[in-house]
């Protein structure tokens, strides 16, 4: 996994260099051709129409790529934040420069403009496709159709490796009973998910992390004793199901073997430690799985998934942290308890 983190860092740096060079090249070209350019509104209606269409295509591809980078492309979560931020800023600068140049078009034959517009139509179509995929990820049920969890079930900063209400960002979407489930991984102090090569359990910043109850409730079901990394035949591995509210149940799974601190029938409070994160069950790397269902047993065939939100949290979905009330998670989100 550490190799994947390094691969995403390299990919981000490559993208940063490519768009940085494009920006500089287009800036130089714009300066060199400045005397041959005229304002868009000074051109005829045919030229104006073609340029406006080109500008719309540029806006679409700019929005689509940025949304894809931050929301849909799951590998982005492993890209170091400075690289991710630099790539987003440089790419945005490049798109804004292209929009400026399109608003001050060069004087050239109409047929050449038409050929350019055809190329931009393809760019716009791609932008529309990416934008549509990203906007579909935000199709999450409103708060009154789900339940609210009192807090996030951990301390420190974690990232969502799979979350949301659609298949665009959530691999659980294909299972009706886990449609709104989220997988989360803890981050080390340096922002990485793994130490060293990320091969052993101990090199995961998630393995052994404290997991807290997200609600006030009563423990309905507990399974413990399964070995980490060797129990894939039991989907949730070591897990706890807590009853809260009006017959709602929150399931938390993949705990470290022998780490569960509660038993069936125990009353728990939001923020109380219930176990340690691990890698038991059908898990490729140490993480915390959470979802809300309508039954007391973790059964993907018999239970029904319920959409849920957190009463309050701090979330970074793009380049900035925001305090969010009644918010949900999407893949790539960074999240921490509200301070």
**What pTM was computed for the model?**
0.88
pLDDT at 197: 64
Query: Do both 77 and 168 map to the same domain?
Result: no
Please report, for residues 57, 169, 305, 333, the alpha-carbon distance to residue 284 in angstroms, rounded to integers and kept in the order given: 40, 18, 23, 20
Query: Do both 110 and 152 map to the same domain?
Result: no
Query: Do both 242 and 312 map to the same domain?
Result: yes
Q: How many angstroms separate the CA atoms of 165 and 324, rounded?
A: 18
Place of tokens 């923020």: 271
Report the 10 Å Cβ neighbour count for 78.
Answer: 24
pLDDT tens digits in sequence order for the chain, 339 residues long: 567 778 888 999 999 999 999 999 999 999 999 888 888 777 778 778 888 888 899 999 999 999 988 988 878 888 888 999 999 999 999 999 999 998 888 777 676 777 777 888 888 899 888 888 888 888 899 988 899 999 999 999 999 999 999 988 999 998 888 999 999 999 988 888 877 766 677 778 999 999 999 999 999 999 999 999 888 899 999 999 999 988 899 999 999 999 999 999 999 999 999 999 999 999 888 999 999 999 999 988 888 999 999 999 999 999 999 999 999 999 999 999 998
Query: Do both 64 and 90 map to the same domain?
Result: yes
What are the backbone dihedrals phi and psi of residue 116, each rounded to the nearest 5 degrees, phi first? -60, -40
pLDDT at 38: 80
Q: Which of 96, 121, 136 is at the close of a domain?
A: 136
Q: Count how many Cα atoms sit within 13 Å of the Cα of residue 185 in the half-sphere of its side chain.
A: 24
Contact at 8 Å (CB) between 4 and 78? yes
Query: Do both 154 and 130 map to the same domain?
Result: no
Q: Count how many Cα atoms sit within 13 Å of the Cα of residue 21 in the half-sphere of its side chain.
A: 5
pLDDT at 230: 86
Query: Do both 54 and 156 map to the same domain?
Result: no
Q: How many angstroms separate the CA atoms of 225 and 15, rounded?
A: 45
Place of tokens 């989907």: 235
Residues 6+ apart with CB under 8 A from 285: 1, 185, 198, 204, 206, 279
* Total structural domains within the chain: 2
Q: How many angstroms separate the CA atoms of 212 and 304, rounded?
A: 23
Query: Do both 175 and 201 map to the same domain?
Result: yes
Query: Do both 298 and 229 map to the same domain?
Result: yes
Q: Which of 136, 157, 187 is at the close of a domain?
A: 136
What CATH number is associated with residue 310?
Answer: 2.70.70.10
Place of tokens 């209400």: 165
Q: Which of 119, 136, 153 is at the close of a domain?
A: 136
Please report, for residues 2, 234, 237, 271, 310, the alpha-carbon distance to residue 201 in angstroms, rounded to integers and kept in the order given: 12, 19, 15, 25, 29
Query: Do both 202 and 325 map to the same domain?
Result: yes
**HEC profile for 290-304?**
EEEECCCCCCCCCCC
Report the 10 Å Cβ neighbour count for 218.
Answer: 15
* Domain span including residue 71: 2-136
Query: Do both 192 and 65 map to the same domain?
Result: no
């Amino acid at each position: 996994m550490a190799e994947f983190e390094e691969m995403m860092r390299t990919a981000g740096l490559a993208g940063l260099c490519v768009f940085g060079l494009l920006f500089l090249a287009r800036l130089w070209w714009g300066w060199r051709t400045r005397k041959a350019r005229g304002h868009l509104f000074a051109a005829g209606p045919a030229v104006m129409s073609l340029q406006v269409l080109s500008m719309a295509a540029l806006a679409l591809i700019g929005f689509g790529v940025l949304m894809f980078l931050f929301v849909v492309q799951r590998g982005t979560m492993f890209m170091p934040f400075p690289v991710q931020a630099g790539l987003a800023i440089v790419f945005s600068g490049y798109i804004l420069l292209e929009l400026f140049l399109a608003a001050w078009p060069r004087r050239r034959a109409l047929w050449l403009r038409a050929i350019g517009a055809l190329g931009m139509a393809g760019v716009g179509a791609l932008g529309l496709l990416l934008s549509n995929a990203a906007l579909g990820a935000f199709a999450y049920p409103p708060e009154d159709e789900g339940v609210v969890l009192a807090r996030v079930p951990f301390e420190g900063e974690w990232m969502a490796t799979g979350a949301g209400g659609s298949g665009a960002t959530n691999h659980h979407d294909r299972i009706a009973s886990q449609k709104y489930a989220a997988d989360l991984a803890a981050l080390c102090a340096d922002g990485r998910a793994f130490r060293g090569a990320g091969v052993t359990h101990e090199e995961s910043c998630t393995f052994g992390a404290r997991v807290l109850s997200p609600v006030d409730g009563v423990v309905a079901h507990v399974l413990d004793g399964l070995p980490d990394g060797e129990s894939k035949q039991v989907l949730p591995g070591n897990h706890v199901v807590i009853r809260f509210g009006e017959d709602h149940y929150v399931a938390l799974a993949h705990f470290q073997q022998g780490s569960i601190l509660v038993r069936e029938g125990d009353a728990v409070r939001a923020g109380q430690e219930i176990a340690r994160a691990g890698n038991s069950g059908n898990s490729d790397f140490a993480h915390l799985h959470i979802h809300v269902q309508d039954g007391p047993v973790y059964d993907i065939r018999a239970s029904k998934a319920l959409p849920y939100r957190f009463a309050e949290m701090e979330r970074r979905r793009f380049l900035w942290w925001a305090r969010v009330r009644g918010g949900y998670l999407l893949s790539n989100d960074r999240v921490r308890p509200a301070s």
